[in-house]
Amino acid sequence: MRAFESIALGIPEILLPKSGTDLAKWAVIACDQYTSEPAYWDKAAAFIEDAPSTLNLIYPEVYLNEPEPEKSARINRIRETMSRYLAQNLFVSGEGLVYVERTTGGKTRKGLVAALDLEQYDYRKGSTTLIRATEGTIVERIPPRVRIREGAPMELPHIMVLIDDPADETIGPLAAAAGRMEKLYDFELMLGSGQLAGYRVSDRDLEEGIIRGLAKLADPGAFAAKYGLKEGLPVLLFAMGDGNHSLATAKTIWEKTKEKAGGFTAVSSSPLRYAIVELVNIHDPALLFEPIHRVLFEIASGRNLIQELSAFYGGKVRFEPRCCPDMMKASVDGQAGSTHKIGVISPDGFGVLEIEAAGSNLPVGTLQNFLDVFLKDKGAGEIDYVHGSDVVASLGAKPGNMGFYLAGMRKTDLFKTVILDGALPRKTFSMGEAWEKRFYMEGRKLV
């Protein structure tokens, strides 16, 4: 691994499926998508059949609650398949960053597959590392993911990490140079998820331009001036976009590796020190911030959530019914001022909550503060975080459920908010709809 420690970047040895592999069946959506829709994963499995696929190398989180011994058996199958694919020489290997283009709905998002140094990442709120979480990390979600990754012979990333590069000096030049780079793949993704193309950045001039671009963003003086900060505040270069818990899992395993080895020096060159991710410029016009909605399942009999929410916030809560989802969304999306508006979907219909003096800067924080207490008090059996207004409307309307529709946040607010306030409430935003998420494509050996 060639490393540039001052910017926490590594140039990885990338694994890609060899020529002749059906890439449409190889690449699958991030494991943390469609977590309440097993039908999606059934469709993916039916499409793939027995072909080589990353579906056989990941643990779709729709199955995370399956009981033992099914869970252990699934993890064992993943490990065995990884080892078998490696032994069968299914992959070709090559060093270098990979420039990727993801086209969905007529827009193309540009990214860069690279390795990030976990030594310079801390997911805890208030961290001052170069790489930081943007939302609260649920530590209880890390151990099941550690079981999947720990000891695995390879990794495949669905992690997307953001840089704040208004001039687009880091990734932008790669788009202009794509025509003279080696094209690694270009194909249509399954189930209507768009087109994916990848190019190896083997030209040293282009690589050096990327290093210079990141170094410029990491300059302390330029960093302070960009955000109007006082001199001396630690630089935030990389902010988590998608896959926060996956990167936190990699970090946990790295810390355990150091502890077992007796310290950093003994394992400083270990491949576990790094994780591969896709870097994306937050100013990319194709990158959209979408809200993440909430759905409660199995609301306890006799519990009146609206009344309990009103009591939680001292009576400063109003609920007004709406005739239809469009009117509900219009009220929530058009909100202004200090009152927080949240859409509600239940078997009884649609409505809007208005909450004053909520003690949170964002409606999502206002809602989540209450839901955490409500769930702890066994007011509902489970919560899920879903993408898309149609999904929250469908699930919220089912008997025993309730859905909550939220407006999105401005993506330009992200970096400064994390710098000044720490992590946002968990599951505040999503970078696009579920079908627009990163697909597994590139891999890397971990042993």
In tens, the pLDDT along 59-105 reads 999 998 899 999 999 999 999 999 999 999 999 999 999 999 999 98
Is the domain of 87 the same as that of 225? yes
pLDDT > 70? residue 359: no
What is each CA distance from 305 to 139, 162, 297, 367, in whole angstroms? 27, 36, 12, 12
pLDDT > 90? residue 249: yes
Distance CA 407, CA 404 (A): 10
Is the domain of 274 the same as that of 188? yes
Name the domain count of the chain.
Answer: 2
Is the domain of 71 the same as that of 146? yes
Distance CA 130, CA 128 (A): 7
Q: Tell me the pLDDT of the chain averaged across its residues.
A: 94
Is the domain of 139 the same as that of 252? yes
Compute the Cα dihedral for 317, 370, 364, 345 and give only its sign.
negative
Q: What integer pLDDT is reported at residue 357 of this predicted model?
A: 61
Is the domain of 18 the same as that of 6? yes
Q: What integer pLDDT is reported at residue 97 of this predicted model?
A: 98
Is the domain of 17 the same as that of 152? yes
Q: For residue 280, give its domain range.
A: 2-288+432-445
Is the domain of 35 the same as that of 164? yes
User: Where is pLDDT greater, at 334 or 239?
Assistant: 239
What end-to-end distance do the CA atoms of the chain give, in Å? 13
- In the DSSP assignment, the letter for residue 99 is E
Is the domain of 399 the same as that of 277? no
Distance CA 399, CA 397 (A): 7
pLDDT > 80? residue 128: yes
122 contacts 23 by C-beta, under 8 angstroms? no
Compute the Cα dihedral for 113, 165, 197, 30 and give only its sign.
positive
Q: What integer pLDDT is reported at residue 140 of this predicted model?
A: 84
Q: What percent of the chain has pLDDT over 90?
A: 81
Q: What integer pLDDT is reported at residue 420 of this predicted model?
A: 83
Tokens found for residue 320:
């007004």
Is the domain of 16 the same as that of 49? yes
Q: What percent of the chain has pLDDT over 70?
A: 99
Q: Which amino acid is at 366?
A: T
Bridge partners for 436 per DSSP: none
Is the domain of 309 the same as that of 359? yes
Which CATH number fits the domain that encloses residue 415?
3.30.1760.10
Is the domain of 142 the same as that of 242? yes
Tokens found for residue 226:
């960009």
Q: What integer pLDDT is reported at residue 347 of this predicted model?
A: 97
Cβ atoms < 10 Å from Cβ of 276? 22
Is the domain of 398 the same as that of 422? yes
pLDDT > 70? residue 358: no
